[in-house]
């Protein structure tokens, strides 16, 4: 399993003060030296965390492949084409969202996504699509010409957090949602089934399969059981843990959990 470490959250903290502390390049060096196998960053349209200069520096100094997440916005695609990351992952973006809320709508924005892929391919950049774990989305991704899909694991992570609310500070308590424990267990099972079926189907169609969003030290083992998934991109939980034990140990611990024995 390839571990992609998403270092956007280091820039989120930096932007809280708008000073160069913590330094994103320090995070890059620590990640490279601590078992990460890929660096993931998201150059958002509103530049709320990673800035153009960060992306440029990370591309210049990273010893690891860089997976650059971006929207299908033309201006952003021009920048990404010039930066030439090892891969671009197309994600949906809304200005008002706190984080990427769902997978790319590969049905309504077919032609826009197809031309984004074409543009990136013309700069020799392989493309992954961040999609919900549904067979229809996988089929559409293949038809659109992507090499890879990243399955959005947010729904699974949310339900898992509700079920294990003592482990995590989920926003919703079981009581609030009036869901019984057995119903939550059933929903966790169903969301895992969706991820597994999507991964199997994607692999069958010849797509590489990654997964990400909301993965943490408690739930990542479930992804390890799906052998078709060969890459995980994880940010929030690693950077959150790093506050208590340092970024290097936080990455090493995740690497240990994501190493297939
Ligand atoms: N993969 C993609 C495509 C994402 O947009 C994000 C969030 O930036 C992640 C993975 C990492 O998610 P998290 O920060 O919840 O681990």
Neighbour-count burial for 151-182, b at 16+ CB within 10 Å, e otherwise: bbbbbbbbbbbbbeeeebebeeeeeeeebeee
Q: Parse the chain into domains and list their residue ranges.
A: 2-257
CATH dotted code for 2-257: 3.20.20.70
Residues identified as active-site: 42, 69, 213
Q: What is the pLDDT of residues 35-61, one digit of tens each?
A: 999 999 999 999 999 999 999 999 999
Give the pLDDT of residue 193: 98
Percent of the chain with pLDDT over 70: 93
* Tokens 């150059």, located at residue: 43
List phi, psi (to 5°) of 10: -70, -40
Give the pLDDT of residue 180: 82
Percent of the chain with pLDDT over 90: 87
Quick one: pLDDT band at residue 260, thresholds 50, 70, 90? Answer: confident
| pLDDT value at 204 more than 90 | yes
Give the pLDDT of residue 102: 83
**CB of 93 closer than 6 angstroms to any ligand 1 atom:** no
| pLDDT value at 214 more than 60 | yes
Give the pLDDT of residue 179: 74
Q: Which of 83-97, 136-150, 166-180 has the highest mean pLDDT?
A: 136-150
Give the pLDDT mean for 165-175. 56
Q: How far is the CA of 233 from the centre of ligand 1 (A)?
A: 6
User: The pTM is what?
Assistant: 0.94
Strands, E assignment, 159-245: 208-212, 231-234
Give the pLDDT of residue 171: 57
Q: What is the pLDDT of residues 93-122, one digit of tens each?
A: 976 666 667 899 999 999 999 999 999 999
Within a 13 Å sphere around the CA of 194, how many CA atoms are in the beta-carbon half?
20
**CB of 100 closer than 6 angstroms to any ligand 1 atom:** yes
Give the pLDDT of residue 9: 96
Give the pLDDT of residue 177: 60
On average, the pLDDT of the chain sits at 94
Residue identifier of the C-alpha nearest atom 1 of ligand 1:
212
Q: How many CB atoms lie within 10 A of CB 258?
A: 20
Give the pLDDT of residue 234: 98
Q: What is the pLDDT of residues 140-152, one digit of tens each?
A: 999 999 999 999 9
Residue 225 burial (C-beta neighbours within 10 Å; 0-12, 13-18, 19+): exposed
**CB of 250 closer than 6 angstroms to any ligand 1 atom:** no
Gap between the Cα atoms of 84 and 227, Å rounded: 29
Give the pLDDT of residue 112: 96
| pLDDT value at 175 more than 80 | no
Give the pLDDT of residue 166: 57
Strands, E assignment, 104-187: 127-131, 148-152
Nearest-atom index, ligand 1, CA of 91: 3
Give the pLDDT mean for 25-42. 98
**CB of 5 closer than 6 angstroms to any ligand 1 atom:** no
Give the pLDDT of residue 94: 77
| pLDDT value at 197 more than 80 | yes
- Which of these, 146, 152, 116, lies nearest to 134 by C-alpha position? 152
* Tokens 């090493």, located at residue: 252
Query: What SS3 class is residue 136?
Result: helix
Q: State which H helix or E strand residue 142 sits in.
A: helix 135-144
Residue 82, both tokens: 């010039």
Q: C-alpha distances in angstroms, 169 versus 23, 61, 157, 158, 174?
A: 28, 36, 12, 10, 12
| pLDDT value at 28 more than 90 | yes
Q: How far is the CA of 48 from the centre of ligand 1 (A)?
A: 15
**CB of 215 closer than 6 angstroms to any ligand 1 atom:** yes
| pLDDT value at 163 more than 80 | yes
172 DSSP 8-state letter: S
Which residues face 38 on adjacent strands?
Answer: 4
């Amino acid at each position: 399993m390839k571990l992609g470490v998403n270092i956007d959250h280091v820039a989120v903290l930096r932007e809280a003060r708008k000073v160069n502390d913590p330094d994103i390049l320090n995070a890059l060096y620590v990640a490279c030296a601590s078992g990460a196998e890929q660096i993931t960053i998201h150059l958002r349209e509103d530049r709320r965390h990673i800035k153009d200069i960060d992306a440029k520096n990370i591309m210049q100094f990273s010893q690891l492949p860089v997976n650059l997440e971006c929207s299908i916005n033309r201006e952003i695609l021009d920048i990404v084409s010039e930066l030439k990351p090892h891969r671009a992952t197309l994600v949906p973006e809304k200005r008002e969202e706190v984080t990427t809320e769902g997978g790319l709508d590969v049905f309504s924005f077919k032609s826009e996504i197809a031309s984004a892929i074409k543009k990136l391919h013309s700069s020799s950049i392989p493309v992954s699509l961040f999609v919900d774990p549904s067979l229809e989305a996988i089929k559409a991704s293949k038809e659109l010409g992507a090499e890879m899909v990243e399955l959005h694991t947010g729904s699974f992570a949310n339900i898992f957090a509700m079920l294990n609310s003592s482990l995590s500070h989920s926003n919703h308590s079981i009581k609030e949602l009036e869901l019984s424990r057995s119903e939550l267990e059933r929903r966790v099972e169903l969301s895992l089934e969706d991820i597994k079926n999507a991964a199997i189907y994607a692999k069958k169609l010849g797509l590489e399969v990654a997964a990400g969003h909301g993965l943490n030290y408690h739930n990542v083992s479930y992804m390890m059981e799906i052998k078709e998934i060969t890459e995980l991109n994880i940010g929030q939980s690693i950077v959150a843990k790093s506050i208590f034990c340092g970024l290097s140990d936080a990455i090493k611990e995740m690497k240990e959990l994501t190493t297939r024995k």
